[in-house]
Amino acid sequence: MPELSRPQPDGREVPPDDAAAVNALRSAVMRLSRRLKHQRVDESLSPTEMSVLGTLFRCGSATPGELARKEHVQPPSMTRIVAMLEAKGLVRLEPHPDDRRQKVVRQTEQAEAMLEESRRKRNAWLAELASGLDEDEWAKVRAAAPVLEKLAQL
């Protein structure tokens, strides 16, 4: 039996078995993501605002331009997002250490606490879901987690 190739990003035809796997993965990730979004602690924050806070948590402080690139939004949009987060007390703007024309965005302790509570709530929800899996299924999920993380970083 010939080995199936990986899905091709250049538009070449994907073997049917791979196409089915890609479709199933996309569908499952989207449904799970949608359900996870409902497990928020602060309903007043948009998913984009939460994402920016998560990026600041993972990557540390950044300029609004750097955040815009990491979040794949236009700089004017990031400026508005940062202003809203600042008004809510979740970030603060500080002078850039090397360029006085720029500001650096840092999350506040309030944001860190809110993110931690949000992670706790979402992890508890996922753990409850996972309790319905058998040992073999759970082992597969554990093994897939680093691969899914790699996909998310590409």
Residue 92 pLDDT level (bands cut at 50, 70, 90): very high
- Structure-derived torsion over alpha carbons of residues 19, 35, 55, 88, reported in degrees to the nearest 10: 150
On whether residue 32 sits in a domain, the answer given is: no
On whether residue 19 sits in a domain, the answer given is: no
Confidence (pLDDT) at 7:
53
| This model's pTM is above 0.75 | no
Tally the domains of the chain: 1
What gap in Å lies between CA 121 and CA 39, rounded to an integer? Answer: 7
On whether residue 56 sits in a domain, the answer given is: yes
On whether residue 15 sits in a domain, the answer given is: no
Structure confidence by residue, pLDDT tens digits, 22-78:
888 999 999 998 888 888 777 788 888 989 999 999 999 999 999 999 999 999 999
Domain that holds residue 116: 44-153
Return the sign of the alpha-carbon dihedral for residues 53, 48, 11, 144.
Answer: positive
Structure confidence by residue, pLDDT tens digits, 97-110:
888 888 999 999 99
Q: Report whether pLDDT(3) > 50.
A: no
Confidence (pLDDT) at 4:
47
On whether residue 21 sits in a domain, the answer given is: no
On whether residue 79 sits in a domain, the answer given is: yes
What gap in Å lies between CA 29 and CA 17, rounded to an integer? Answer: 18
- From the list 47, 15, 25, the residue with the least C-alpha distance to 122 is 47
Tell me, what DSSP letter sits at residue 60?
-
Structure confidence by residue, pLDDT tens digits, 65-74:
999 999 999 9
On whether residue 123 sits in a domain, the answer given is: yes
Cα radius of gyration (the chain): 19
Q: Is 90 helix (H, G, I), strand (E, B) or coil?
A: coil
On whether residue 22 sits in a domain, the answer given is: no
Residue 130 pLDDT level (bands cut at 50, 70, 90): very high
Q: What is the CATH number of the domain that holds 113?
A: 1.10.10.10
